[in-house]
Amino acid sequence: MNRIFHSRPAVIVAIVWLSVSPVSAQPDGPVPDLTQTDPAGKFANGGRSFCAPVSVSNSLMHLFRADLERQGISQYDLVNRLASPAYMNTDSVTGTGPNGLMAGVRQFLKDRGLAESDYALRFQGWRPHYEDFGTGVTEPSLKWIADTLVAGGAVWLNLGWCRIDPKTGDYERIGGHWVTVIDAGKDNMGIPNPNVLVIHDPAPRAGKEPSDEYVLMTRLTSGNLVGKAKNLPRPVAGLYRMEGGMHIKDSADCAILDGAVALMFPKARP
């Protein structure tokens, strides 16, 4: 994207955000767990719809901490930049869709000097997305998520808040949310369980202090997912209900995994 700078401050900002040479991902310390409504971030509309940029910032701070700190970029700065029009273009009311999230991540990596051949950014799920990010998989795979994390990548989940119709058993999607996946395949006692994902949830209902949430993923077998979102209605079979440590929104009965975004680095740099 071509940028036209009209003043010295704009030029300074551009220099701060662009790395001189390609920067590789170097995981550093625990994955952060920022709350999207943290007043210190001064996020638009109090951060109420900032779940996507905050969730992504958790992983990117973990992977690129040294480069970001070298440039004096805090996680709050990173969230606001990711939410901006040149990145995710997060709407202060409706939030961020899969395409917006992935476009923002791609721009961030471009800023770090990485070519698209240096990484893979892919989506599994039923929500609309650009073909460039596609996998052809409409029901996210827990193994795919776990394998990405083991390989040193990052994963973000897009879940749908649903009400359950007691008469039909249909799941009505009434909204959505993004969370960061930090681990997979074991419960809070360390016992192996391939149906558990460990997440950091940016919503204030998950608490203001960092906390690992152990979410039990239950595969659904019957019913329909309905609502106003594109690609609905569709059968719910093959999708996962998120239970256990998942903090459910007050207006919803449950959360269903709509999609997953994986960032992978197939070419490790020396």
The pLDDT tens digits of the residues spanning 167-204 come to 999 999 999 999 999 999 999 999 999 999 999 999 99
* Tally of domains within the chain: 1
* Pick from 185, 234, 248, 238: nearest CA to 214: 185
Task: Quote the CA–CA distance of 206 and 213 in Å, as a whole number.
Answer: 9
**90: in domain:** yes
In a domain, 165, yes or no: yes
Q: At what angle do helices 75-83 and 51-70 cross, to 10 degrees?
A: 130
User: Which residue pairs, CB below 8 angstroms and at least 24 apart, start in 10-13?
Assistant: none
**3-class state of residue 238 by DSSP:** coil
pLDDT 10s digits, 103-115: 999 999 999 999 9
No. of H helices and E strands in the chain? 5, 9
User: Tens digit of pLDDT for each residue in 35-71?
Assistant: 999 999 999 999 999 999 999 999 999 999 999 999 9
**pLDDT tens readout for residues 77-97:** 999 999 999 999 999 899 999
Q: What residues make up the domain containing 168?
A: 31-264
> Within 13 A of 10's CA, how many CA atoms are on the CB side?
5
Alpha-carbon span 90 to 57, nearest angstrom: 14
In a domain, 193, yes or no: yes
pLDDT at 12 over 80: no
- Give me the CATH number covering residue 37: 3.90.70
Among all chains, which residue has been given the structure tokens 């949310």? 177
Beta bridge partners of 264: 120
